Chain A
Amino acid sequence: MIREQIRPALFSFVLLTLITGVLYPLSVTGIAKVFFTNQAEGGLILKNGKAVGSEHIGQPFDAPQYLWGRPSATTPVFNASSSSGSNYGPMHADYLKAVGDRAKALKDADPFHQARVPVDLVTASGSGLDPQISLAGAYYQVSRIAKTRGISEDKIKKIIEKNTQGRFLGLLGEPAVNVLKVNLDLDEVKK
C-alpha cells in the first residue's frame, strides 16, 4: 500500500514544483514586465536618473522644514530591508514614554500650536516603513512648516492635498498623505 504511493508522491511533487514554483512566478513576472514595469520594481521615484526613494516606503524626517511621518520601530529607523513593528502592548512603560517624547518633540517644534496631537504621529506604524500619515497628522504640521520655510499655509495645504490618496471608490481604506512626496514638492517651492 505504501510502496504504490511512492512514485506518484515523488513525481507529482516534482511536477507541481515546476508548475507552481517556476512557471507560476515566471508568468506573473512576465505579466508584470509587460503591463506594470515601474510598479513591479518597488515604485522608485527618480530625480535626474537617481533613485531618491520609493513612493511606497517612508523615510525618516525630523527637521522642522519637512513634514514628519509615522514613528518607525525598525533598526535603524525606516530600514527597508528589515521591516518591524514595535510590538509594544498597550501598557508597556517604554511605549508610553516614547509616545510622550514624540508628542513633546512635536509641541517643542511649534510651541504656540494648541491643537491636540493626532494619534498616528506618535504611534509606530506596523511595518516601520509607513510612507503615509493621516490628513489630520499632516494639517497639524502645516503651521510649523510654514513658519520655518516662510511660505504660506495655503500653499502647503495644496501640496498636501495633491499628495493625498483617497479611499478606494470613496469607500475602502483611509485617506492618507504621502510624506516623502510632500517633502519633495516642498523642496521645489520657490519662496
Chain B
Amino acid sequence: MSTNDYIQCFIYMAVLLLLAKPLGTYMARVMEGESRVNRWFKPVESFIYKVCGVNPERAEMNWKTYAVAWVAFNALGIFVVYAIQRLQNILPLNPMGLAAVTADSAFNTAISFATNTNWQGYGGESTMSYFTQMIALGVQNFVSAASGIAVLFAVIRGFVRKQTENIGNFWMDLVRSTLYILLPLSIVVATILVSQGVPQTFKPSPKASLLQPTSYDQPMTDKDGKPVLDEKGQPKTQKAMLTEQVIAVGPVASQIAIKQLGTNGGGYYNVNSAHPLENPTPLSNFTEVLSILLIAAALCYSFGYRVKDTRQGWALLIAMTLIFVPLLWMCTHYEQAGNPLLAKMGIDQSATAFQPGGNMEGKEARFGIVSSTIWASATTAASNGSVNSMHDSFTPLGGLVPMWLMELGEVVYGGVGSGLYGMLAFVIVAVFVGGLMVGRTPEYLGKKIESYEMKMASIMILIPPILAVLGAAIAVVAPGGKANIFNPGIHGFSEVLYAFSSASNNNGSAFAGLGANNIFYNIMLGICMFFARFWLAIPALAFAGSLAKKKIVPVSSGTLPTHTPLFIFFLVGIVILVGALTFFPALALGPIVEHLTLAAA
C-alpha cells in the first residue's frame, strides 16, 4: 500500500467514527420522541398517525403484534413493487418507452428492494422507467431501511424495559425513522451529489455527437430481430458507424442518496456507482461511501445511549471496526499489488505520483485503487451492495474480502438496524459461551440470557450461511445455474458463491459476470433474500419480546462486564470463528485456489 492509500483509509475511518456520537445521539432521541425536531414536526407526524388510525397514546404493541405489522407492511411492499414493474409500460413518466418487466425479474426485484437487499439482475437505465425508479424502487429504499431501524429500536426496548409485554409501536418507529433520519440526511447528500454533476431531471436522455466517429461490428439480425449466424454458429456482424451517444439521465441524485444511506445499494445505472453520472468526482465518492456506513455505525452509539451506558455502544462499534480495518487493509494490499500476469506482459502497475497503478480492470481512473477498495469493503461490511468498481475483476484475495465480509452475516456495521440486531445475536452467543466458561448464569445489560434467547440468536446466525451454502451447492450442479456462469473454471465458482452469499445476507452486490437475469437465478436468489430478511427480523422481535418481560438483575461481582477489551476481543473471536468455520471450505475452493493458481502461473 502507498502512503496515500493509508491516508485515505485513515480519513475515512476518522470521519466515520467522529460522526457516530452526534448522529447516534440524535437518532436515539428522535426515535423516542425526545428531540426538539419531534416538536417542530409534530403536526405532520400527528396527521400521519390520524390518517393511519394509530393513537400514539395507546400504541404499544407486544412482539407478536409488532411482527405482524412489520410483515404486513413489507409484504405489501413486495406486492406493489411487483405490480408497478409489470405495468410500467402503461404508467406515466416513461419517456424512453420501456416495456413491462418480465415476471421472474419483477419477482426478484420486488423481493430484492423490499428486503433492503437491492440485488439487481437487470440493467437500470435500460429496464426501469422514471416512474418505477421513483415510486416503486425509491420508496422501498426508504421504507425497507426504516423497517430495519424500527426492529432495532424494538430490540433495544427489550433490553431497556422490564416486566412488560410491550416493545413499542411499529408504525411510529417506521414514520419517525423515515421522516427524521432518512429523509433529512438524503436531502443533504442528494444536494451534494447534484453539485458534483449527478443528474436530477425528468427530461428524456439527451444525445451528443461523437468527436471521432468510430466504426464497430454490429451483430446482424434478420426480419424477426433474431441474430444471423455464420457456418460456425457465431453471430454474423457487419461494420457500422457510431456517430452519437445517448446519455441516459433521470432523477438519479435523489435515488443515489437514499440507496447509500439506507444500505440499499440499488443503483440507477447498470454499473451502479462506478457510473460517472452516479458518482462523478472524488467528493461525490467520499460522500457516498461515507453514507454507506454512517447510520449503521452511529446506531451503535444510539444503542449505548438508550441502554444508558454509552460504553456498551462503543464496545460494539470497536468490535466491528477491529474486524473491518484488517480486511480493508488486505483488500487494498492485494488490489494495489496488481495482477502478476499483467506484470509479465510488461504493463506498468506501479503506484507513482502520476498513476495509482495496481489492478485497474473494472476500476475508474478517478477512484484508482484505494477509493475502490474502501468502497468494496464498506459496501459488503454494511449490507449495502452498491459498487464503484467491478468486484468480479478483483484479484482473488482482493475479491475474497468483500465476499467474506458478507458471509460474516452482515454484522460488521451491517445494514441500517439489521446490522446491529444481527450483532446483538452474536453478543448473546458470546455472553452465553462466556458464562458457560466461568460457570455463571449468562446475562447482558442486566437481562438473563436463557435458552429461548439462545434459540432465537442461533436461528439468526445460522439461516444466512445455510441459505448461502445450499444455494451455491444447488447452482453449481443445476444446468440452469451452470449455464449462466461467465468466467471459466475456479473464478466461475466464485461468481456463484458470491451471488448466494450476497442474496442470503441481504447485501446485493455481485460478481456481475454471472448472468443473473434468468428464471433460475431470479427465483433462487429471490427465495434466499426473502428468508434472510424475514426469518431474521422475526426472531429478533421474539427475543426482544422475551427480554422485555424479564426483570433487570443488579450488577454484582459475578457479572461479566461487556464493555472491556477482553469482551470485545471475545466477541470478535466469535464472529470470526463462525464465519471462518462455515465458509472456509467454500472459500478454499474459490478465491484461495485461484490465488495459488495465479501465483504459480
A residues apposed to B, CB below 8 Å: 1-2, 4-13, 15-17, 19-22, 24-25, 27-29, 31-32, 35-36, 39-45, 50-63, 66, 70, 76-92, 95-96, 99-100, 103, 115-120, 122-137, 139, 165, 167-168, 171-177, 180, 183-184, 187
Contact = CB atoms under 8 A, between A and B. Distances in A.
Given A24-B183, A80-B247, A90-B393, A96 B348 contact: no
19 contacts: A7-B52, A31-B187, A31-B194, A39-B196, A52-B208, A58-B276, A76-B216, A76-B240, A77-B242, A81-B248, A87-B486, A87-B487, A117-B346, A118-B354, A119-B359, A134-B368, A136-B354, A136-B355, A172-B286
B347 A29 contact: no
Contact of B393 (A55, A57, A87): A87
Nearest to B196: A39
A53 B210 contact: yes
A25 B187 CA distance: 9
Contact of B388 (A16, A126, A131): A126
A32 B257 CA distance: 14
B389 interface: yes
Contacts of B80: 13
Given A57-B245, A132-B365, A168-B282, A42 B183 contact: no
A132 B371 CA distance: 15
A111 B126 CA distance: 41
A173 B362 contact: no
B195 A85 contact: no
Interface of B: 4, 7-8, 11, 48, 51-54, 64-65, 68-69, 72-73, 76-77, 80, 123, 125-126, 134-135, 138-139, 141-143, 171, 174-175, 178-179, 182-183, 186-187, 190-191, 194-203, 205-212, 214, 216, 218, 240, 242, 245-249, 251, 253-255, 257-258, 269-271, 274-277, 280-283, 285-286, 338-339, 341-342, 345-349, 352-368, 371-372, 387-390, 392-396, 486-489, 491, 494, 511-513, 594, 597-598, 601
A145 B274 CA distance: 29
A126 B274 contact: yes
A96 B227 CA distance: 28
A10 B355 contact: no
Contacts of B210: 53, 59-60
Contacts of B345: 96, 99-100, 103
Given A19-B183, A172-B285, A83 B125 contact: yes
Contacts of A82: 123, 125-126, 248, 270
Does more than half of chain B's interface fall in helix, strand or loop, or is it mixed? Answer: mixed
Contact of B491 (A39, A42, A92, A103): A92
B599 to A, nearest CB: 11
A180 B365 contact: no
A173 to B, nearest CB: 2
A133 B359 CA distance: 14
Contact of A28 (B48, B194, B513): B194
Contacts of A15: 48, 51-52
Contacts of A21: 134-135, 138-139
Contacts of B352: 136
Contacts of B246: 80-81
A40 B200 contact: yes
A107 B471 CA distance: 47
A92 B51 CA distance: 58
B138 A20 contact: yes
A13 B240 CA distance: 49
A27 B356 CA distance: 38
Q: Which of B73, B201, B390 has the most CB of A within 10 A?
A: B390
Contacts of A40: 194, 198-201, 253
Contact of A126 (B53, B186, B253, B363): B363
Contacts of A100: 345
A125 B364 contact: yes
B197 to A, nearest CB: 5
B362 A120 contact: no
B171 A8 contact: yes
A81 B7 CA distance: 36
Contacts of A78: 245
B293 to A, nearest CB: 16
A28 B254 contact: yes
Contacts of B255: 25
A20 B209 contact: no
Contacts of A176: 365-366
B76 A44 contact: no
B393 to A, nearest CB: 6
B8 A126 contact: no
Nearest to B142: A20
Contacts of A131: 276
Contacts of A41: 199, 201, 203, 206, 249
A104 to B, nearest CB: 10
Contact of B69 (A5, A39, A120, A122): A5
A40 B399 CA distance: 34
B247 A57 contact: yes
A149 to B, nearest CB: 14
Contact of B511 (A8, A63, A87): A87
A103 B346 contact: yes
Nearest to B358: A119
Contact of B338 (A66, A119, A132, A137): A119
Given A44-B208, A120-B365, A126-B364, 16 more contacts: A8-B171, A13-B73, A13-B143, A21-B138, A28-B200, A44-B247, A60-B214, A62-B214, A91-B489, A119-B342, A119-B355, A125-B364, A126-B389, A133-B365, A137-B355, A172-B286
Given A41-B199, A99-B345, A136-B355, A59 B143 contact: no
A108 B183 CA distance: 55
Given A131-B276, A168-B281, A168-B283, A173 B366 contact: yes
Contact of B512 (A7, A60, A87): A87
Contact of B194 (A39, A168, A183): A39
Given A15-B52, A25-B134, A172-B8, A90 B361 contact: yes
A84 B276 CA distance: 12
Nearest to A115: B348
